[in-house]
Structure 1
Amino acid sequence: MTVQTYQASCHCGAIRYEVDLDLDAGTSRCNCSMCTKLRKWGALVKPDAFRLLKGEIEEMGHYQFGTFSGSYRFCKTCGVHAFGDGELEVLGGKYYSVNVACLDVDHAVFAAAPVKFMDGANNNWFETPAITSHM
């Protein structure tokens, strides 16, 4: 396990954060309606591993759906979905879901990060969907 601190931001820089993350532990892509439309690529961390450096949560755009247990946070200026947050017992309580694509890293780092596919479209979150090529 190699936890590193990464810097991340939305496109215009109005939202900036840093996160302590082990990319080798895996990232995820989901086929639920929201993640499919966003092409979201996430990684979960506990609240103590996430530090908002710029932007106020109250001023960010935010969207919830389904069980309303999580929030998608996005920049009102450039529209980038920078991270999400919520609380689910199955995930160990409170969490942040960082948008891996917002990390300020070399593309080779992205290419090496393992990806787990989740079948959110069928509420079968811990199983791989039959088709993943579109994700």
Structure 2
Amino acid sequence: MMYQGSCHCGQVAFEVEGEPTKVFACNCSICLRKGSLLWFLPHNKLRLLTPEENASTYEFNKHVIKHRFCPTCGIHPYGEGVGPSGERMAAINVRCLEGIELSSLTVEQIDGRAR
């Protein structure tokens, strides 16, 4: 299935292909504050609908994840990184997707503080 997603103001918009049946809530210092629910998938399933330059990037700690956010409204719709197998990955904040029933998703906790 194809989903449309964006930040609040629409300056950062994208579409993503797949089915987010399981998402992750991370307790690292940034994810805990953002409250995002992350759906990890291969980066090639993410297609930006707005220029990449519309999103700002924040990196911290080991600088392995690019936390992408809108500089206008501040919403964090997705992140980018590399999975354990070396594959380029996207971490989609499912709260930024249209048509998602959050209560239907299985949420798994990730201990990001310990990493």
User: TM-score, normalized by length of structure 2?
Assistant: 0.93
Superposition CA RMSD, Å: 1.3
Same amino acid, percent of matched pairs: 32
**Which residue in 1 is equivalent to 2:40?**
44
Mapping of residues 86-97 of structure 1, within 5 Å:
86-88=81-83, 90=84, 92-97=86-91
The SS at the match of 1:81 is: coil
Contact preservation (8 Å) 2:11, 2:54: no
**Which residue in 1 is equivalent to 2:16?**
19
The SS at the match of 1:84 is: strand
Residue ranges of structure 1 left out of the alignment (5+ in a row): 124-135
Residue ranges of structure 2 left out of the alignment (5+ in a row): none
Shift of 1:63: 0.3
Give the partner amino acid of 1:103: L
Shift of 1:58: 2.9
User: TM-score, normalized by length of structure 1?
Assistant: 0.80
Shift of 1:22: 1.4
The whole-number CA distance in structure 2 between the counterparts of 1:22 and 1:111 is: 14
Show structure 1 runs of 4+ deviating over 2 A.
Answer: 56-59
The whole-number CA distance in structure 1 between the counterparts of 2:2 and 2:93 is: 14
Shift of 1:91: 5.4
**Which residue in 2 is equivalent to 1:131?**
none
1:120 aligns with 2:115: no
For residues 16-72 of structure 1, the C-alpha deviation after alignment (integer angstroms, 9 at most, x for no partner) is 100012122x10000000101111211011122110011x22342110012111100
The aligned length equals 115
1:103 aligns with 2:97: yes
The whole-number CA distance in structure 1 between the counterparts of 2:15 and 2:8 is: 15
* Counterpart among 53, 66, 82 of residue 49 in structure 2: 53
* Counterpart among 3, 6, 9 of residue 6 in structure 1: 3
